[in-house]
Amino acid sequence: MAFNSQSGDVATRSTIDSFLRTPPNGVRPAPPELWGFGGLHGGLAIAAMVDAMAASAEPTGQTGAGAQRLRSVTGRLHRAVREPFSVAAQTDAATRSTRSASARLFPSADEQPAAQTAPVAPLASATSLFGSDSPAPAPAFAPPFPDVPAWHAGGLFNPPPSFVPVSEFYELRVTGTNRPFAGGTDPSLTAWVRLTEDDQPPGQLRLLFLVDALAPSISAVLDTPQPVPTIELSVQFSGNRAVSPWVLVDARTAASGPDGWVTETIQVWGEDRAHLASATQLRLVRPLPAP
């Protein structure tokens, strides 16, 4: 079964909610209000592919969204997604406890040139692993919860929609003193984040968006806004579930160099301090366009 978002009335859904509710085999829009830096927000593009990969189990009789939950996903964004698109997904291998799937995101047929003869290159691709719980649980370990105040004590700090259009649909409350493009010395950002469309705890599709909701952590040591797009995002889920709409996202630059490539690590916790997900993100600092 598909990993659809929480239920709600059609007339009151936000744009993100409507996007996540598109049937996995349907054509999804990529409206400018859902863009991050120059194209569809990366977390939403990967969520669309996860939804299709979850649904790909149905023809084989494996309804893995219940017994086999999403455990990890790695998505690669090859080009900016700016037009309506569809997703092709398949199950690659299945065992009694795991299922591996892959997906590719293509421009919809209406967006392709009429005289197209060569294979259409995907705009993005992803692989995922779904798995059931083990009867022999491992000892419990998790990243320690940071020493930060509760969400209501954080400072409201949302990027302007003119710079990051999709920021209109979430609330971000920062902790500490680091800010994007403030020329600091510590390449990290920590903030409480929630979607503003309702008060539901985020499911896995929404969580994929929230994992990637902060500005690039490297931006905390840059003094000029510039593009730092996501090239690859890998997310591993702990199996815990969020208990409220608020999640704490801690993003830190683990490595960067003069070639422009940035490796970022991300941890996410719920309001009850339960660890929800770990992620690694590969970014590329791009030069500012010539004036």
Q: Is residue 139 part of a domain?
A: no
pLDDT for the residue numbered 134: 84
Mean pLDDT across the stretch 245-263? 97
3-state secondary structure of 59: helix
Based on the fold, state whether residues 73 and 125 are members of the same structural domain: yes
H or E segment to which residue 87 belongs: strand 85-94
Predicted confidence band at 15 (pLDDT cuts at 50, 70, 90)? confident
**Which domain covers residue 202, as residue numbers?**
151-284
Q: Among 31-45, 58-72, 199-213, 268-282, which stretch is predicted with the lowest mean pLDDT? A: 58-72
pLDDT for the residue numbered 117: 57
In the chain, % of residues over pLDDT 90: 72
Q: Each residue of 63-120: pLDDT tens digit?
A: 433 468 999 999 999 999 999 999 999 999 999 899 999 999 999 976 555 555 557 8
Alpha-carbon distance of 13 to 41, in angstroms, equals: 18
Alpha-carbon distance of 149 to 152, in angstroms, equals: 8
Alpha-carbon distance of 239 to 71, in angstroms, equals: 8
Q: Each residue of 231-251: pLDDT tens digit?
A: 999 999 999 999 999 999 999
Of residues 8 and 72, which shows the higher confidence score?
72
pLDDT for the residue numbered 118: 59
Residue 171, strand partner residues: 194
Based on the fold, state whether residues 106 and 188 are members of the same structural domain: no
Q: Is residue 146 part of a domain?
A: no
Based on the fold, state whether residues 199 and 255 are members of the same structural domain: yes
Q: Is residue 145 part of a domain?
A: no
**What angle, 0 to 180 degrees and rounded to 10, lies between the N-to-C axes of helices 42-55 and 204-211?**
150
pLDDT for the residue numbered 281: 97
Alpha-carbon distance of 31 to 16, in angstroms, equals: 10
Q: Each residue of 144-180: pLDDT tens digit?
A: 999 999 999 999 998 888 888 999 999 999 998 999 9
Based on the fold, state whether residues 124 and 188 are members of the same structural domain: no
Q: Are 220 and 179 in contact (CB under 8 A)?
A: yes
Phi, psi (deg, nearest 5) at residue 15: -65, -40
Alpha-carbon distance of 138 to 11, in angstroms, equals: 45
